[in-house]
A and B are shown apart, each in its own frame.
Chain A
């Protein structure tokens, strides 16, 4: 099969790639293709786990803050609501998009495309959904949010007691699981499976 490197446009003849192997451009080192063992099945399983963890992470407070007996708690969405109330709609929208909506869309699109593909069917508007997934990915920033939590907690440590909640652990696990789902996905394999059936 003839492919061109996405980063430098050099043409390559790509033969059959073994499971677990990676093909790189010989001129610029760009990724041509990476295959995983049971890639689609593994991605589906991890995406399902991510969906459950996402629900838990958003349903419960992830931090509570105790200052002289007065307690406040925060979920992912309350921070956004407070910014909105403080007349910061741009920042509220940016935080909502990068910490809640993009990850939600990412998980939903993974399941929407891969569950039917796994069962040998083509979902409605598959190409559009799968393309959208690629565009959403850079805007899903939960791991950056976790570092933000770490910094915020450290800053408040001298001021009052900060207690991590259940959903913080779900959130941390979600980051690992979703990263695993994305790295075991080989888009080429998805397109090839569809090509055979349609």
Chain B
């Protein structure tokens, strides 16, 4: 296709990240440009998107192991102490016949974080290789990744509620453990990683290949 530019960047028009106004950017003032409507800094693409997303994905992956191996809480009931990891919590629910909840916790706490990391690495690699493979599907994959991340917080909230409810002195107490800290870090890091990725990079590769 030739003639009129198809993308904002090709037309020197940048979309404001915050209010979505399309702004014409003069060639010389590009580095300090601000949105005339809401004042947010303007960029053609999120600055350092790939590097930043890689750094956050790697940091999250490093936290993922201790998050799953260390106990997230210790239950002390009538003098007997028992530590729980995320997985043992899932197994406990399964053993007590609560498989729908076991499924919820497994999906939210174990499956979703690893899925997010795999999808983000896949998107990062495909953008780096200027892949032209199914850009619309990859964009949809990105939107899913952005939307599901928050659900991994379920187990952190479960620990909080258990800690608050069960503090009956000698009868029973529940304490949070360091696995929960790593797990919280995984959730926060993957959420920021998804936010740092710019899905328009997926399409830039296709545009370049066409040109």
Contact = CB atoms under 8 A, between A and B. Distances in A.
Interface of A: 2-4, 6-11, 27-30, 63, 65, 67-68, 70, 72, 74, 78-80, 82-83, 86, 88, 90-91, 94-95, 98-99, 127-128, 130-131, 134, 138-139, 141, 144-145, 147-152, 154-156, 158-159, 162, 187-188, 191, 195
B180 A8 contact: no
B172 A144 contact: no
B105 A151 contact: yes
Contact of A149 (B37, B157, B168, B204): B157
B47 interface: no
B184 A91 contact: yes
25 contacts: A4-B15, A8-B203, A9-B200, A10-B7, A11-B13, A28-B135, A28-B199, A29-B136, A72-B165, A74-B161, A80-B160, A82-B167, A91-B156, A91-B176, A127-B37, A128-B39, A131-B40, A147-B104, A147-B157, A148-B160, A152-B158, A155-B89, A156-B165, A187-B19, A191-B38
B11 interface: yes
Contact of B139 (A28, A147, A162): A28
The 10 A-B pairs at the shortest CB distance, nearest first, are namely A148-B157, A4-B8, A79-B164, A74-B164, A152-B161, A127-B38, A79-B160, A65-B165, A9-B7, A8-B203
Contacts, number: 192
Contacts of B22: 2-4
Contact of A63 (B13, B155, B161): B161
A159 B202 CA distance: 51
B89 to A, nearest CB: 8
Contacts of A131: 18-19, 38-40
B162 A155 contact: yes
Interface in B91-123: 92-93, 96, 98, 101, 104-105, 108
Contacts of A88: 176, 180-181
A172 B180 CA distance: 25
Given A8-B202, A83-B176, A65 B166 contact: yes
Q: Is the interface of A mostly helix, strand, loop or mixed?
A: helix
B151 A144 contact: yes
A158 B96 contact: yes
B184 to A, nearest CB: 5
Interface of B: 5-9, 11, 13, 15, 18-22, 37-40, 77, 89, 92-93, 96, 98, 101, 104-105, 108, 135-136, 139-140, 142-143, 149-151, 153-169, 171-172, 175-176, 180-181, 184-185, 188, 191, 195, 199-200, 202-204
Nearest to B187: A94
Given A83-B163, A91-B160, A147-B104, A28 B7 contact: no
